[in-house]
Amino acid sequence: MQDIYVDDIGKGFPLVLVHGYLGSSEMWTLQKEYLSKYFRIIAPALPGFGESYKAVSLNSIKKMAQFVLQYLEEKKINSFNLMGHSMGGMIVQEMAIISPEKINKLICFATGSIGNIPDRFETIETSIERLKKEGIKKTVERIPPKWFVEGENSKYFFLCKDAVKKVTEETAHNALNAMKNWNGLDNLKYIKNKTLIIWGDKDVSYNFKQVETLNKNILSSRLKIFEGCCHNVHLEQPQKFNETVKNFLE
């Protein structure tokens, strides 16, 4: 896959990490450091994002899911654990519908079943309109701080700042439209994989109702709530997050 960046580190059973909107493979830095001691970590930067900024971006969640599955197929990785964050959580739900037999365990992190997210800090449509009006520079300055309780003062905020340096307006627009047009609610009953749902109780992107919907409708699931965390739990309480993931997967 030309212009696509994928981290592939560690040994053991594969764990695939799928980042969210305005993310990158670098956003998983603290997870790669810890979890690569126990698993083979596969962390792609989605087309147009992060280290894959030169690649043509995709405009649907299903296409993004198919992209990740195609990469794994090319690498002959036919069985794996899977974790997705935010928009990546939508992508991994779609992957679980397309190829459920390949997924051992599933982690849906700071995400929901509806792309046009109810009670988000602003509607997806508003984000689209503001992106058009204000441009990509102001968008990437404005949104990432909302993912942390301490905003730009958060210790690992720099990872978000790095991730958005080369994101284009087209890539951001395609991703917002992909989310707006995606609805996975009716598919939840078909997800049979053992699933962990992770959520920070200060998340302003997804409220409790969103993760509760996942937990109630995915047959074999449980919900882990991190108190005092916002949207990026993995960067706010990394040690506790990493241990929670490891214990669930083992």
Question: 3-state class of 174 per DSSP?
Answer: helix
- pLDDT in the model for residue 225: 98
**For the residues 72-99, what does the mean pLDDT come to?**
97
* 158 has pLDDT over 90: yes
- Chain-centre distance for alpha carbon 106: 12
The interaxial angle of helices 61-74 and 87-98, nearest 10 deg, is 60
* 232 has pLDDT over 90: yes
pLDDT in tens, 116-154: 999 999 999 999 999 999 999 999 999 999 999 999 999
- pLDDT in the model for residue 8: 97
pLDDT in tens, 6-53: 999 999 999 999 999 999 999 999 999 999 999 999 999 999 999 999
Burial of 234 (0-12, 13-18, 19+ CB in 10 A): buried
The residue behind tokens 């195609």 is 70
- pLDDT in the model for residue 21: 97
Q: What is the CATH number of domain 6-249?
A: 3.40.50.1820
Angle formed at CA 7 by CA 31 and CA 150, multiple of 5 degrees? 40
- pLDDT in the model for residue 2: 72
* 1 has pLDDT over 90: no
Mean residue pLDDT across the chain:
97
Domain residues of the chain, as ranges? 6-249
Q: Which helix (H) or strand (E) holds 199?
A: strand 194-200
- Chain-centre distance for alpha carbon 246: 17
